[in-house]
Amino acid sequence: MQKRLMQTVNIHDAKTNLSRLLEAVQRGEPFIISKAGKPIARVSRVDAPTAERAKRLGFLAGEIEVPEDFDRMGEAEIHAIFGADDASPS
């Protein structure tokens, strides 16, 4: 199933074409109303399923491993480039 981009209309066009836009919503075609190019509202069917937000925190738990020396990786190269004896803030 290919995901379609949601139509975006400015406030003036939404007011002018509200009946047509709401007919499209009834067919399952939601749209976004924008003001000055910034989205401000999403219009969709009342019974439309809501998209669940992606769970971001811990999404790679158990999938990757951070090396113990992670904060010191590349230290020699950094020292060679910048010549600092101590990279920690003073």
For the cut 60, the answer to whether the pLDDT of residue 2 exceeds it is no
Q: What is the CATH class of 7-43?
A: alpha beta
pLDDT for 11 beyond 50: yes
In the DSSP assignment, the letter for residue 52 is P
Strand partners, 28: none
Please report which confidence band the pLDDT of residue 53 belongs to, taking 50, 70 and 90 as the band edges. Answer: low
Q: Mean pLDDT throughout 64-68?
A: 86
Predicted local distance difference test score (pLDDT) of residue 55: 62
The amino acid present at 64, given as its one-letter code, is I
Taking the domains of the chain in order of start, what are their residue ranges? Answer: 7-43
Q: What is the mean pLDDT of residues 62-67?
A: 85
Q: pTM for the whole thing?
A: 0.52
